[in-house]
Each structure stands twice: as C-alpha cells, then as structure tokens.
Amino acid sequence: MSGNWLLPAETTSSGRPVLQPAEVESSLQPSVDLVNEENPNLPIFKSGLLILTTYRLLWLPNPESTTSAPTSTAVAVPLAAITHIFQSKKSIKGMFASPRVRFQVSVTPDGKVQERGSKSIVITLVFRGKSDPDSFVVKLNEAWRGRAWVGAVSASGAGQSSTPAVLGDSGGSSSSNTGLALKMPVVGVSGILRKEQEMWESTDKSLQDAFQDLNALMTKAKDMVILAEKMRQKLLSSSNSQSNSTNDEETASKEEMQEWMLSVGIVSPVTKESAGALYHQELSRQLADFVKTPLERAGGIMNLIDIYCLFNRARGTELISPDDLLRACSLWDKFNVPVMLKKFESGVMVIQNKSHSDEEVFSRIRSLVQKPDAMKTGISATDAARTLGIAPAMAKEHLLAAESKGFLCRDVSPDGFRFYINIFQDIDPNDVYLVKEYGVYDAWNRAAIASR
Amino acid sequence: MQTLGEHKLPHFFNYPPYFTLQPVRETREKQIQVWKELILDYCRTQKVFIIGLEQDFPLFSNPAIERSLNHEAREAFLSALVLDGRAEWMDKSHRQCLILWHRIKDWADIILRFVNENGLEDSVMTIEEIRSGIESRGTDIHGMDRTVLMRALKLLENKGKLAIFKGTSTDDEGVKFSV
C-alpha cells in the first residue's frame, strides 16, 4: 500500500502548491514528517515542507532531497476531515525529542482520508527543523475552527451559477440591509436608480471599512476578491447582452476593467509571517509561477521594475521590497524554473524566459535595419519595440547590444537617438570615394540614392 | 555625388551616424580613420591650413541631412590627426588646429623642387614673394600658410640649403638660397 490514503495535491512546475480559489496559506514549516499512527507499515512522509492553508494541510516533498518529480508525491489532508486536534503534552521526555503535533482525522473503512468517514485515525506531525510548533498549533486550530472551506463551497457555487443568481444575491444583501428602513416599492426608472444607488452605497461602505486599517483589510480580503469576481461577472454579462448597442469604446473600457479585475489577485501571497525562514525560497517559486503570463504577453522578456509593480499589485496588501524581489529572482538558479534573471551591461535587469534567446532577437534586428526605409532613416528604440513586440526600454538594450557587437551605429541628433546599420567597415580608408559593388555600404548607398 | 564648393564629397557624407562620435571602440577607430582622410583631402584641395573648432567649418556639417559634428567629435578627429603628426594644436585650449596636409619635411622638399625648377639656386627672395609671387603660382606653395612656410624654411636653413635674414619688418624678411 502506498501513500494514496491521503489526497493528492497539485503543485506548479516550480514546486508551489496549486491553491483553490480563495484558499489562503497561513503557515509554512520546513522538515516535517507526516506519520500514520494506526498503521506504521505505511510509508512515512519524511522531512518535507508542511503548508497550512485555510482549507488544507499540504505536505510537499523536500525538493533538494528527492530526485523524482515533486508533483508525484505531494499530498493533502483537508481540514474538513479533521475531527480532533490533541493538545501537546509537555514532559521532560518531550524536551529532547523533536516536537510533535497529533490530530485525528476521519477515514473511509479502507483507510482513506475523507470528510465524514466512518472510522478515524491519528496522524502525527514531527517537526525536525528549527520551527515553532506551538504557534503552528495555534494557527492550525484557528484555521480548523475558521471553517473557511464551508463558505468557499457556496461561493464557488455562486460563481459557477448563472449571472442572474449573482445579481440576485447582491440584490438580496442590499434588501436585507434596508430591512429595518421603510421599504419603498421598486417601481419604474426611479426604483431601478434607487436600487442601483443602494448597491453602490453598500459597495462603498465595504470599501471604506476595508481601508479602516490593514488588519480590517486582511479580514475583508476574501470579500474583496468575491466582490471583484462579481463585478467581473457583471461586466461580462452586460457586454454579452448589450453587444449590439454598445460602441467600441465602451467595450474597450470594459475589457480594461476586466483585466484589472483579473490582476487583482494572488489570493494567498507568500508572506514573511507565514513562511518564516523559507520566505525567499517560497517567494521565489511563487514569483516564477506568476511571471509566466505577463512574460508571454511581453514577448518573453520584461524589465525587473515592471515585474515588481505587477507582482505587488497582484499581492495587494502584502507588499514586498525591491530587495526581496531581487533575492527571490536570484534564487531561481537553484530551482528548476523556466525563467531567469539577466543583467545587461548597462545595469538594467530583466526577467526572461529561458527559451528566449538573444540570438533570435539579434537576427530580427538584423532583418529590421536592412529594410530600405530603415537603411535610409535608421530605427529608434520605439520602432524596434513595435516590431519585436517588446518594451521600448528592452528594445533599446538589445539595440545597444547589437551596437557593441559592431553591427549598428548610432545617430544622435535633435531628432532623437537612432540606429543605423554599420557601414564603416565597408569604407576603404585609402580611397574614401570608392564604393565597392557589394556589401552593406553599397546597399545603404542604393537605398539613400533611391530616396533622393 | 554631392560637392562642397569645388570639393567632391564621398557618399557616406550623407550617412547620419558619420556625424555622431561612435562609442564602440572598433567602430570609432574606423570612423576616425575615415574622418582623418576626408579632412586632409579637403584641406589639400581647398588649401585650408587652419581649422577653428568654434568657427563654422564647411566639412563639419551637412545641411542636406541636418547633421553636424559636436565639439567633442571635432576635437577627437583633429586630435587623431595631431597624433599622426598631420596636425598641430595652435594653443593649449585646442581652439585652433594647424593642418599639415604636407608634413613639414615634405613642404621643404617641395620648396627645393620649386627652387630648382625656377633656377633660383643662388637668388634672394622675400617670404612674401615665395607665397604670392608669379613663380609659385600653380604650385602648392602659392598662398601657403606663413607659419608652415617659415617652419619649412627653418628646416632647410638647418640643413644649410638657405639663409634666412631678418629685415626691418616682417614684410622684408627674406631668404638666400644656396642649393
């Protein structure tokens, strides 16, 4: 019998757990063993990373100690299946052994962990690292009693159901708010307007409450994400139903709004509080997962500053410092992630896909500057950015790299900073009037004469 | 082909980067080399001896493409000529540059040839006669810079080919050839 008495847990390619919607990590503990006490014959999950979320207990194998793919052995215990958490007993003996935390879970008759199972077993966690099991137990209790998963099931249900249900839901909440007030009949345009007004007021209130202080915001974080999701749904539905009547501008602004909504959220940011000593490592993995989408959109390469802004915007309240970001990026060398940090000669730092090759960009620049128009007027960083589909700052770095290889020449004038194909190598210093009938000088000359 | 006065210009005179000092070493070396050739060639055909860095010098700008050399670039190209011995700064602040499109010893040879061709081996001439007299017309000596001429004559004097004598004013400074 193998480890399939526990539920499998999905992980990303960089070894971060895949969390469910609105699931939040609350504690990370390194080097933890997970032992089934009832049946010692079962394989012990040895010295892995234990992650406590608001929904589950996740156990991930230590990436340094295993050679197999980490996805194959990551397991989870749903908090819903936990029936009892034992208080840890303080004893003299316990002072020398590794600290242990024991809890009871319900299982199916054949020993699989399941919510509302008929039998129950005891699982022991052994903390081998330098960690603080007491605070972990507190957090485990908090999460277990918080029963966040109960709300989640209904929330996801509402998200999946049709849009009118969502609207009805918000309408219901507003009517319950005004339950004590004199109820006005909802009639005609003014009724709709009033209803709209009420809805905005309640939204406004929850926004204001959220910004009272950061703690309040954290408790409201889940509501905010739900709110954002609702607004997205509403936007989607209205753009569908009114697609005929709305003009392009409105559709564009709605799409923009949707983008913002989508970028609202990493629901469970890795924080110093939850990850402790593992902070930079976990941050690094989370970052690697996060940058994939923006990188793809930006053509495989992005400025570190842009990533910093995007990442912090996605994190919402748990902002990281530039220093933390840099450390997280420099840890990528140690993990098997598809992205890398690169430093240009000018000092500009970028994040790029490992598959992204400078050679390819170089050859694209080569073909760009050899077009007749570019021969004649040169190319600016903006032109290159447009053609290559990358940010102008990045394009400039690539152009400067091509220049330092002697392939391009610069032209600095009141018109701006432009690059031309380098023809100096084809000019004969002994006879400056000679134009050989081949090579770039000749090609440039033809382009220049043709334009005159 | 574009011209500047009577001087023919090479095609790359319309190449905008030609007027920006290139930062990459290899490219810059090539650029400087090409500029040196063009400056000497232009000065030779136009009989220009002095380039003032702060004055308009026709070669240093191209109105057709609206580009001109900045001060740094001008100084870089002229300094390269100075290093080659084909030019000299006339002041410490590098405001004026004397262009030696013939080196001083080449000038001395040209003067000797001029003396031989005109049968002046034992005659006396004033400096002004050499620079603007009938005999020198049509040669490189005609209209040459006084400073450059004096230095070429001094070189010949040291070799014993002539004697310079001072008059009451610079106008009647003269030489006696004894080739």
Q: pLDDT per residue over A264-274, tens digit each?
A: 555 566 666 66
Residues in chain B closer than 8 A to A375 (CB atoms): none
User: Fold for domain A366-451?
Assistant: Arc Repressor Mutant, subunit A (1.10.10)
pLDDT of residue A174: 40
Tell me yes or no: is domain B104-177 CATH 3.40.50.2000: no
Residues in chain B closer than 8 A to A444 (CB atoms): 15
Q: Using alpha carbons, list the distances in angstroms from residue A235 to A95, B107, B158.
A: 58, 87, 97
Report chain A's mean pLDDT, rounded to a whole number: 75
- Residue labelled with tokens 């990442």: A311
Interface probe with A: pick from B1, B27, B45, B72, most Cβ of A within 10 Å: B27
Q: Do A409 and B17 touch (CB under 8 A)?
A: yes
3-class secondary structure per residue, chain A: CCCCCCEECCECCCCCECCCCCCCEEEEEEEEEEEECCCCCCCCEEEEEEEEECCEEEEECCCCCCCCCHHHCCEEEEHHHEEEECCCCCCHHHHHCCCEEEEEEEECCCCCECCCCCEEEEEEEEECCCCCHHHHHHHHHHHHHHCHHHHHHHHHHHHHCCHHHHHHHHHHHHHHHCCCCCCCCCCHHHHHHHHHHHHHHHHHHHHHHHCCCHHHHHHHHHHHHHHHHHHHHHHHHHHHHCCCCCCHHHHHHHHHHHHHHHCCCCCCCCCHHHHHHHHHHHHHHHHHHHHHHHHHHCCCEEEHHHHHHHHHHHHCCCCCCHHHHHHHHHHHHHCCCCEEEEECCCCCEEEEECCCCHHHHHHHHHHHHCCHHHHHHCECHHHHHHHHCCCHHHHHHHHHHHHHCCCEEEEEECCEEEEEECCHHHCCCCCCCCCCCCHHHHHHHHHHHHHC
Order across the sheet with B124-126: list the strands. B124-126, B174-177, B162-165
Mean pLDDT of B90-115: 89
> Which has more confidence, A96 or B61?
B61
Of all residues in chain B, the one with the smallest CA distance to A436 is B11
Q: Residue B78: pLDDT above 80?
A: yes
Note the pLDDT tens digit of each residue in A40-76: 777 778 888 888 888 888 888 876 654 444 445 788 8
Residues in chain B closer than 8 A to A441 (CB atoms): 11-12
Q: Which region among A150-159, B28-37, B63-72 has the lowest average model confidence (pLDDT)? A: A150-159
ipTM: 0.83
- Cα–Cα–Cα angle for A380, A383, A388, rounded to 5 degrees: 125
Note the pLDDT tens digit of each residue in B124-138: 888 888 888 888 888
pLDDT of residue A5: 79
Residues in chain A closer than 8 A to B10 (CB atoms): 427, 432-433
Of all residues in chain A, the one with the smallest CA distance to B68 is A413
Q: Do A403 and B12 touch (CB under 8 A)?
A: no
Q: Do B67 and A411 touch (CB under 8 A)?
A: yes
Q: Which CATH class is domain A272-353?
A: mainly alpha
The percent of residues in chain A predicted with pLDDT above 90, rounded, is 3
pLDDT of residue A323: 87
Mean pLDDT of B151-169: 85
Q: How far apart are CA B82 and CA B40, in angstroms?
A: 12
Interface probe with A: pick from B2, B30, B70, most Cβ of A within 10 Å: B30
Give CA A347 to chain center in angstroms.
26
Q: Residue A297: pLDDT above 50?
A: yes
Domain ranges of chain A: 7-148, 161-262, 272-353, 366-451
Q: How far apart are CA B105 and CA B102, in angstroms?
A: 8
Q: How far apart are CA B58 and CA A365, in angstroms?
A: 35
pLDDT of residue A152: 60
Q: Do B22 and A409 touch (CB under 8 A)?
A: yes
Q: Which of A320, A325, A321, A318 lies closest to A291 in space, CA to CA?
A: A325
Mean pLDDT of A75-87: 85
Q: What are the helix and strand counts (H, E) for chain B? A: 5, 10
pLDDT of residue B124: 86
User: Fold for domain A7-148?
Assistant: PH-domain like (2.30.29)
Q: How confident is the model at residue A173 (pLDDT cuts 50, 70, 90)?
A: very low
Q: How confident is the model at residue B72 (pLDDT cuts 50, 70, 90)?
A: very high
The verdict on A444 touching B (C-beta cutoff 8 Å) is yes
Separation in Å, CA of B17 to nearest CA in chain A: 4
Domain ranges of chain B: 3-99, 104-177
Q: Which superfamily, per CATH, for B3-99?
A: "Winged helix" DNA-binding domain. Chain C. Domain 1 (1.10.10.570)
Q: Residue B92: pLDDT above 60?
A: yes
Q: Residue B60: pLDDT above 60?
A: yes
> Which has more confidence, A382 or A87?
A382
Q: How far apart are CA A105 and CA A99, in angstroms?
A: 20
The percent of residues in chain A predicted with pLDDT above 70, rounded, is 71
Mean pLDDT of A212-227: 66
The verdict on B62 touching A (C-beta cutoff 8 Å) is no
Do domains A7-148 and A366-451 share one topology? The answer is no
In angstroms, how far is the first alpha carbon of chain B from the final one?
Answer: 45
Q: Is B78 helix (H, G, I), strand (E, B) or coil?
A: helix
Mean pLDDT of A213-239: 66
Q: Do B12 and A423 touch (CB under 8 A)?
A: yes
